């Protein structure tokens, strides 16, 4: 299967636009990334993670998101792929490089599309016989309490390389926190809190102020097809896997689905 068969139209933004407009565009279009352009040329990528990073930095948080530009937050190192590349190869690239998506350019360098873990995750919806337990992560699951400070939770998420964390109390799942939720909460904070108080008060924001309460949940014996539908319908990239009493037993993510696709649609052999 070629990239051209599943890629989607990119959502572009000019590098000189306001960061507040970028956040609105991400939400309006229901996407996780924007392709930053200047005179039609690709200059960078902007994601919720990029916005969360910038708004979480002490020297920046004193500024309202309305006063920041896209260039202050975007990632300017861009790895592109071609429309004729194999989807399995691109999935492996994403896994190896820790990327959530790539702009697609043709042989002349013209932007023709974008491929992300969302499109790759849709491919697993044909696999009704593969169970969540065969792909889910069960070890070293990072959890966060609803009263934890959002800045610390974001730092822990970044250090672990996760795009989302389950919010638990006593092992029971209460919510979910993702890069998008962190970015949106930080953006609200920079607008609502007066300039002189931001630097001191940013650390008082709690996870409960940003998290999605009662997120979709999956069980270990559900199919990855069903898990993918739940995940994408909710516009999430990770879901808690629960047992009896909604007790957390694992996590399943778009990255797990991408590994499955990179492995030629086979469950990775963990016995080696």
Condensed to tens digits (0 to 9), the pLDDT of residues 214-241 reads 999 999 999 999 999 999 999 999 999 9
pLDDT tens for 156-213 read 888 887 888 999 998 999 999 998 898 888 887 766 655 555 555 666 788 998 999 9
- Mean pLDDT over 74-88 rounds to 93
Q: What does the block give as tokens for 50?
A: 């990029």
Mean pLDDT (the chain) is: 88
pLDDT score recorded for residue 58: 47
Domains of the chain from N-terminus onward:
3-116 (3.10.580.10), 126-262 (3.10.580.10)
Residue 250: phi and psi, rounded to 5, are 180, 180
DSSP category for residue 90? H
The gap from C-alpha 102 to its chain's centroid, in whole angstroms, comes to 13
Any alpha helices (H) in 114-253, and if so which ranges? 117-122, 150-160, 179-192, 195-201, 224-233
230 closest CA partner among 239, 219, 221: 239
What is the pLDDT, as a whole number, of residue 205? 83
Per-residue pLDDT tens over the stretch 134-150: 999 998 889 999 999 88
Which contiguous run of DSSP H or E holds residue 238?
A: strand 238-242
Return the pLDDT at 194: 56
Instruction: Determine contact, residues 71/96, Cβ cutoff 8 Å.
Output: no
| Structure-token pair, residue 144 | 């966060």
Mean pLDDT of the 98-121 span: 92
Q: Report residue 42 as tokens.
A: 């690709």
pTM to 2 decimals?
A: 0.87
- Does residue 2 carry a pLDDT above 90? yes
- The pLDDT score that the predictor gives to residue 124 is 95
């Amino acid at each position: 299967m070629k990239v051209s068969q599943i890629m989607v139209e990119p959502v572009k933004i000019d590098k000189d636009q306001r960061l507040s407009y970028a956040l609105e565009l991400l939400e309006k279009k229901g996407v996780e990334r924007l392709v930053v352009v200047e005179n039609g040329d690709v200059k960078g990528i902007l994601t919720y993670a990029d916005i969360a990073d910038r708004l979480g930095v002490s020297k920046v948080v004193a500024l309202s998101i309305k006063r920041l530009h896209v260039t202050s937050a975007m990632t300017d190192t861009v790895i592109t792929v071609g429309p004729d590349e194999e989807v399995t190869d691109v999935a492996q690239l994403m896994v190896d490089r820790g990327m959530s998506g790539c702009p697609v350019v043709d042989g002349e360098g013209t932007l023709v599309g974008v491929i992300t873990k969302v499109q790759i995750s849709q491919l697993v919806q044909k696999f009704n016989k593969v169970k969540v337990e065969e792909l889910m992560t069960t070890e070293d699951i990072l959890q966060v309490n609803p009263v934890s400070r959002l800045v610390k939770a974001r730092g822990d998420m970044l250090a672990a390389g996760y795009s989302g964390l389950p919010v638990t109390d006593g092992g029971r799942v209460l919510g979910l926190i993702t890069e998008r939720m962190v970015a949106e909460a930080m953006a609200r904070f920079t607008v609502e809190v007066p300039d002189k108080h931001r630097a001191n008060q940013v650390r008082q924001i709690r996870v409960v102020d940003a998290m999605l309460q009662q997120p979709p949940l999956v069980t270990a014996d559900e199919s990855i097809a069903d898990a993918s539908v739940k995940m994408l319908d909710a516009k999430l990239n990770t879901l808690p896997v629960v047992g009896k009493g909604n007790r957390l037993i694992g996590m399943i993510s778009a990255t797990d689905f991408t590994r499955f696709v990179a492995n030629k649609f086979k469950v990775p052999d963990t016995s080696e």
